[in-house]
Amino acid sequence: MATKLPADHSPLQNQLLAALPNEVFDRLAQHLELVPMPLGQVLYESGSPMLYTYFPTSAIACLHYVLENGASLEIAGVGREGIVGISAFLGGNSTPSFTTVFYGGYGYRLKARLIIEEFERAGALMHLLLRYTQALMTQVSQSAFCNRHHSIEQQLSRWLLINLDRVPTNELTITQELISTMLGVRREGITDAAGNLQRAGLIKYRRGHISVIDRVGLESTACECYHVVKKEFDRLLCSSPAPHTHLQAVSAGDNESMILREIGV
């Protein structure tokens, strides 16, 4: 049975696609395919060729490295702010890391050869993707520093804030076991850290669900790594040229996309 796709989804819910000029968006839009991105889906395996790139709209993907003993650590995450598969247009066409979906939702996929063709035009898309890649590199390096030097409570706060920025609610549906895998720490450490944050009134945790009650307090608890990454993404991506007029085609009932239209991201 074919998967039923939501009728209210738009490519413009992805901030990179929303930032493209008319001409570039028109060339890509006819080839964009809305696809479900369920929890656990493997987008790329280590060393495998990249046939598609993905623009998440409500899903979040995780780039992680798996050791021979089975241990795993998140390298970076990608949500509606970005693109999954940068190796395709950077010329590598594969990566030693795995890419899986850890927060299920939807996204748009595009054949890798098409984005390579557009990238090689050396126009607006190339400049936007290079800025995004620089921001992603900041996320990777800052995460490595954070995992080495900051407490589990600080790491958890940073991780929650980064991923809450990628969803339209103040709640994440995710288990402590999965978070421990993402951060590369023992589950008991995540349980203790989540308990401390809950007792402080910053979050509310119930099995498989984490809700943020005090966003400001959580930002104060997080290390500087969250703010460094957020500032770099804002600097590099929110300074993009004015968005194209296709944003006017977004349904008036889609509040999130209306906001994108107003702020130009």
- Read off the CATH number of the domain in which 173 is found: 1.10.10.10
Separation CA 214–CA 202 (nearest Å): 5
Residue 2, domain member (yes or no) = no
211 and 161 assigned to the same domain: yes
Average pLDDT, the chain: 86
Given this model, what pLDDT does residue 7 score? 66
How distant, in Å, are the alpha carbons of 28, 64, 84, 230, 247 from that of 11? 10, 26, 14, 23, 10
83, pLDDT greater than 90: yes
Given this model, what pLDDT does residue 139 score? 93
pLDDT digits (tens, 9 = 90+) for 48-82: 899 999 999 999 999 988 777 777 788 899 999 99
107 and 160 assigned to the same domain: no
**Whose CA is closest to 166, among 221, 222, 103, 213?**
103
Confidence at 96, pLDDT banded by 50, 70, 90 = confident
Lowest mean pLDDT among 150-154, 205-209, 220-224: 205-209
User: To the nearest whole percent, how much of the chain has pLDDT over 70?
Assistant: 88
102 and 172 assigned to the same domain: no
Q: Give the mean pLDDT of 25-37.
A: 96
Residue 166, domain member (yes or no) = yes
CA dihedral 212, 218, 222, 225 (to 10 degrees): 70
Confidence at 30, pLDDT banded by 50, 70, 90 = very high
Given this model, what pLDDT does residue 145 score? 87
Separation CA 155–CA 158 (nearest Å): 5
Give the contacts of 75 (CB within 8 A, at least 6 positions apart).
63, 64, 65, 97, 140, 143
181, pLDDT greater than 60: yes
Residue 162, domain member (yes or no) = yes
105 and 37 assigned to the same domain: yes
Separation CA 108–CA 243 (nearest Å): 19
Given this model, what pLDDT does residue 262 score? 34
Given this model, what pLDDT does residue 257 score? 39
Contact 160, 210 (CB under 8 A): yes
Residue 245, domain member (yes or no) = no
Given this model, what pLDDT does residue 253 score? 37
Residue 39: how many CB atoms within 10 A of its CB? Answer: 15
Given this model, what pLDDT does residue 239 score? 54
32 and 121 assigned to the same domain: yes
Confidence at 249, pLDDT banded by 50, 70, 90 = very low
85 and 179 assigned to the same domain: no
121 and 12 assigned to the same domain: yes
166 and 57 assigned to the same domain: no
111, pLDDT greater than 60: yes
CATH number at 103 reads 2.60.120.10
25 and 118 assigned to the same domain: yes
Residue 33, domain member (yes or no) = yes
Contact 50, 98 (CB under 8 A): no
Separation CA 112–CA 51 (nearest Å): 5
Confidence at 133, pLDDT banded by 50, 70, 90 = very high
Give the contacts of 48 (CB within 8 A, at least 6 positions apart).
94
Q: Give the mean pLDDT of 98-115.
A: 95
22 and 108 assigned to the same domain: yes
Q: How many domains does the chain have?
A: 2
Separation CA 198–CA 221 (nearest Å): 12
264, pLDDT greater than 50: no
103 and 154 assigned to the same domain: no
Residue 3: how many CB atoms within 10 A of its CB? Answer: 7
Given this model, what pLDDT does residue 208 score? 86
What is the domain range of residue 107?
8-125
Residue 90, domain member (yes or no) = yes
Confidence at 248, pLDDT banded by 50, 70, 90 = very low
Residue 3, domain member (yes or no) = no
Residue 253, domain member (yes or no) = no
115 and 17 assigned to the same domain: yes
Given this model, what pLDDT does residue 92 score? 84
